[in-house]
Amino acid sequence: MKHLISARGLEATPTVAILDTAMDMVDVRTREVKKLPTLRGKTVANVFFEDSTRTRLSFEAAALALSADVTTFTTQGSSVSKGESLKDTLQTLEAMGADFIVLRHPHSGVASTVVNSGWVDAHIINAGDGTHEHPTQALLDAFTMRSRLRGENARGSNLAGISVVIVGDIFHSRVARSNALLLRTLGATVTLAAPQTLLPREIDSWGAAIVSTLDEAIDLQPDVVMTLRVQRERMTSGFFPSESEFTQLWGMNDSRLRRLPPTSIVMHPGPMNRGLEISGSVADSPQSTVTEQVANGVAVRMAVLYTLMGDSR
C-alpha cells in the first residue's frame, strides 16, 4: 500500500495490522522518549485546502513523533482551487522534497485524482476530500471501538459481532462514508439512522441497515452510537426543518444514553455542536470517547505513515 485514499480499497488483514501497529504507537507515546526514528530525513507535507486545525495538528504530531520533517501548506478560496494550481502546488511541494503529502480538500475525489494523474510520486494520504471519504478517521474510530470494546483482547482482532449505529447527516459526511465501508470490512454490523433527506440514494452496496429515527436505532441496543457533525446551514437548504426537530429525532441525549447498555459507547468525530447532534452531558459522560478519539488519532496516523513508508509501490 503506497497511498491511503479510501476505506473502500482496504482489506481486513492489512487494516487489522494497521490497528495493531497503532497499539504499538500508543505504547511509544507513553514512553519517556515519545519518538521513533522511522521517518528521520523524510518530509511530510500537510496540504490543507480546507481549514481543519485538529486534523492538521494530529497529522503533524504523528509525523513529528516518527521524526519526520513537517511542512504545512494551508489555503482557502478559489485562487488555488483550480486543478492546474493544485497540480502546480503539489509538484512544487514534491520538488521541495515532500515524501508524503497529506491532502485535505473541499472537493470529493481530489486525492484519487492526484494518485491517478501521476502528477507526483509522493505517498498520498487522504485527510478528507469533500463529501467522499476520510479514511484515517475511520481507522481511528475502528481503533477506538476495538480498544474500548475488546480491551485486553484487542490485538489481532477485527470488529465481528460489534453493532454500530451511525446517526445524523450521512449524506454530507465523509466520516460516515469511510466508517460504513471500513466497519463492514472489519465485520461489524452497521445501521444508519437519518431522515431520507440526509441519506444518499441507492446505498445497498454499503451493506448497512437503515432506520428512521435514533430511538429506533437505540432499540437495537447497539455497542456504538456514532454521532456526526451537522452543518447548521443544512436547515435553510430544506434538509430538515429546525434544530429542535433534528435534536428531538436524531440528537444523542441523556435519556437515549440511559436506554443503551452500560458498556456501549458514544462517538463523535468533532468538532461537536453541543446541544444539536449530541448533548453536552453525553459528550462529557464516561461512555463518550470523544477525547480518546483525538488521542488515538495521532497513534493511528503514525501507524498509517509507518505502514505506507514500508511500501513504495
Of 104 and 148, which CB lies nearer to another protein in the complex structure?
104
x-marked contacts with another protein along 173-192 as a string, rule CB under 8 A = -x--x---------------
The set of residues, in sequence order, having a beta carbon less than 8 Å from that of 230 and lying 6+ positions away, is: 168, 169, 246, 273, 276, 277
- Using CB under 8 A as the binding rule, whether residue 233 contacts another protein is answered as no
Among 108, 157, 273, 285, binds another protein (CB under 8 A): 108
Q: Are 48 and 74 in contact (CB under 8 A)?
A: yes
Q: What residues pair up with 227 in beta bridges, in sequence order? A: 167
Of 110 and 167, which CB lies nearer to another protein in the complex structure?
110
- Using CB under 8 A as the binding rule, whether residue 200 contacts another protein is answered as yes
Among 21, 91, 112, 285, binds another protein (CB under 8 A): 112
The residue assigned the cell 466497519 is 183
Residue 71 Cβ vs another protein, minimum distance, rounded to whole Å: 22
Q: Are 136 and 15 in contact (CB under 8 A)?
A: no
The residue assigned the cell 445497498 is 204
The residue assigned the cell 523524510 is 42
Of 13 and 78, which CB lies nearer to another protein in the complex structure?
78
- Measured N-to-C along each axis, helices 12-30 and 174-185 cross at an angle, to the nearest 10 degrees, of 110
Q: Are 29 and 294 in contact (CB under 8 A)?
A: no
Piece of 58-66, 75-83, 147-155, 285-293 that binds another protein (CB under 8 A): 75-83
- Using CB under 8 A as the binding rule, whether residue 3 contacts another protein is answered as no
- Using CB under 8 A as the binding rule, whether residue 107 contacts another protein is answered as yes
Q: Are 255 and 304 in contact (CB under 8 A)?
A: no
Residues lying near another protein in the complex (CB under 8 A) are found at 8, 81-84, 86-87, 105, 107-110, 112-113, 116-117, 129-133, 174, 177, 200-206
